[in-house]
Amino acid sequence: MIPDRNSPAIQDFIDRFLKSSGRSDIRSEDIVVDVFGDSPALRDQLIALILAGTKTATCTDLWSWEKEQDTPIVPGMLTLALDGFGRPRCIIETVKVEQTTYEEVTAEFARAEGEHEPLDLPDDLVLENWRTYHWAYYSRVLPGIGHEPTLDMPVLCEHFRVVYSEEMQPKS
């Protein structure tokens, strides 16, 4: 469950981002508030990968996205990512999104998700790892919204970049 976007911690983080960005075209309510993963431990693990620059993509099933969010995933979308305690950690911008099926996800995309170790695994093992962990994830979350994972289920493959974090060091 996503914490209330009107909480002081979330609003303060968004306000600091808006002030630092200098972009007057962004409104606070345009920023999606979301989490990666379905448990506090997994959320913390995935946020760490994002902040390290290892994770630059994510995949969600279309059914969950449509149930939880009002906004479609489109390039330019801004998302405030929360950690396992519901604290704001960074704002990401969607660079590219593609709808495909679970079975059509590529090793290249799975590698961009950065959830495999070691990071230099061969493509076939990266994809095998991705399928194992994502199938387990979908098997946990989809029954809660009346679906079961299938090989042809629609998934959204999103590439993103971090545009704001108070923890990352500026690159020189």
Q: Kindly give the pairing relationship between strand 88-101 and strand 154-164.
A: antiparallel
Q: Mind listing the pLDDT tens digit for each residue in 1-58?
A: 566 788 999 999 999 999 999 888 999 999 999 999 999 999 999 999 999 999 999 9
Can you list the domains of the chain with their CATH numbers?
A: 8-164 (3.10.400.10)
Q: Mind listing the pLDDT tens digit for each residue in 60-99?
A: 999 999 998 888 999 999 999 999 999 999 999 999 999 9
* pTM > 0.85: yes or no: yes
The CA-atom distances, in angstroms, between 35 and each of 38, 43, 71, 104, 118 are: 8, 7, 15, 24, 25
Q: Mind listing the pLDDT tens digit for each residue in 112-136?
A: 999 999 989 999 999 999 999 999 9
**Helix, strand, or coil (residue 142):** helix
